Amino acid sequence: MENDKLKYTKVQEQVISWENGPLILIGAAGSGKTTALAARVVEKIKLNAGTHKKILVLTYTQVASNHIRKIVAEHVERLEEYALIGTFHSFCRSVLRSHGAHVGISPNYVEYTDDSDMLATLAALLEDSTRGWSDEIRNKDHQDILDFIKLSKRKMLSPSQLKIGYPSESSVQEMANVYLAYDEALSIDNAIDSDTVIFKTFELFRNNPFISKYYQSIYNTFIVDEFQNITDTFYTVLRRLTNDSDTDIVVAMDEAQQIYRWAMSMIKPRMRFEENYSASLLMFNDNFRVPANILEIAEQLVRADLNRSNITSSSKQKGNIRVRRYSSVEDEYNWIVKDIQEVVEKKPSSSIAVLTRYRDQMDPIILHLRKAGVPVKVYNSELLFQSEVMRWIYSFLNFTIRNDDKWFGKLVEFTQILFNSDISEKLTTDLTILYSSVTEKRWKPYVQTINKYLPSNLHIDFEIQEIINNVEKLSSWCANFLEWKNDGYNSDFIHESQYFTQKLLQNIASSLSDFLSILKDDYTDPGKEEGVVCQTVHSALGKEYDHVYIPHFREGVYPALLEDSSDSSNVMNDERKHCYVAFTRTRRELTITYSEKSEEGFNFRPSRFLKELSLKSAPQ
DSSP for 310-352, please give it: PPEE--SSPPEEEEEEESSHHHHHHHHHHHHHHHHHH-TT--E
At 65-106, the pLDDT tens digits run: 988 999 999 999 888 899 999 999 999 999 999 999 999 999
**Pick from 413, 412, 394, 401: nearest CA to 526:** 394
pLDDT of residue 459: 81
Residue 6 pLDDT exceeds 60:
no
Report how far Cα 78 is from the mean position of its chain's Cα atoms: 26
Instruction: Please name the CATH architecture into which domain 320-379+529-613 falls.
Output: 3-Layer(aba) Sandwich (3.40)
pLDDT of residue 434: 80
Rounded to the nearest 5 percent, the helix, strand and coil shares of the chain are 55, 15, 30
What are the φ/ψ torsions at residue 478 (nearest 5 degrees)? -60, -45
Residue 208 pLDDT exceeds 60:
yes
Which of 163-177, 427-441, 519-533 is predicted with the least confidence, judged by mean pLDDT? 519-533
Average pLDDT over residues 329-357: 94
Instruction: Please name the CATH architecture into which domain 10-94+201-286 falls.
Output: 3-Layer(aba) Sandwich (3.40)
Higher confidence at residue 383 or residue 136? 136
pTM, two decimals, is 0.80
Considering the chain, what percentage of its residues have pLDDT values greater than 70? 87
Residue 602 pLDDT class (50, 70, 90 cuts): confident
Cβ partners under 8 Å of residue 346, min gap 6: none
The H-or-E segment that residue 83 falls in is strand 83-87
Query: Using CA of residue 413, residue 416, residue 417, residue 419, what is the dihedral sign?
Result: positive
Q: Which contacts of 125-129 are long-range, i.e. CB under 8 A and separated by 24 or more positions?
A: 125/178, 125/181, 125/182, 125/185, 126/178
CATH class, range 110-189: mainly alpha
CA distance 387 to 399: 18
What b/e string do you get for 499-513 counting C-beta neighbours within 10 Å, with b at 16 or more? bbeebbeebeebbbb
Residue 547 pLDDT class (50, 70, 90 cuts): very high
Residue 10 pLDDT class (50, 70, 90 cuts): very high
The domain spans of the chain are 10-94+201-286, 110-189, 320-379+529-613, 388-517
Report how far Cα 203 is from the mean position of its chain's Cα atoms: 24
Which of 299-308, 337-346, 520-529 is predicted with the least confidence, judged by mean pLDDT? 520-529
CA distance 499 to 275: 44
Same fold? 110-189, 320-379+529-613: no
At 215-272, the pLDDT tens digits run: 999 999 999 999 999 999 999 999 999 977 678 999 999 988 888 776 667 888 889 9
CB 148 within 8 A of CB 230: no
**Pick from 272, 315, 332, 298: nearest CA to 598:** 332
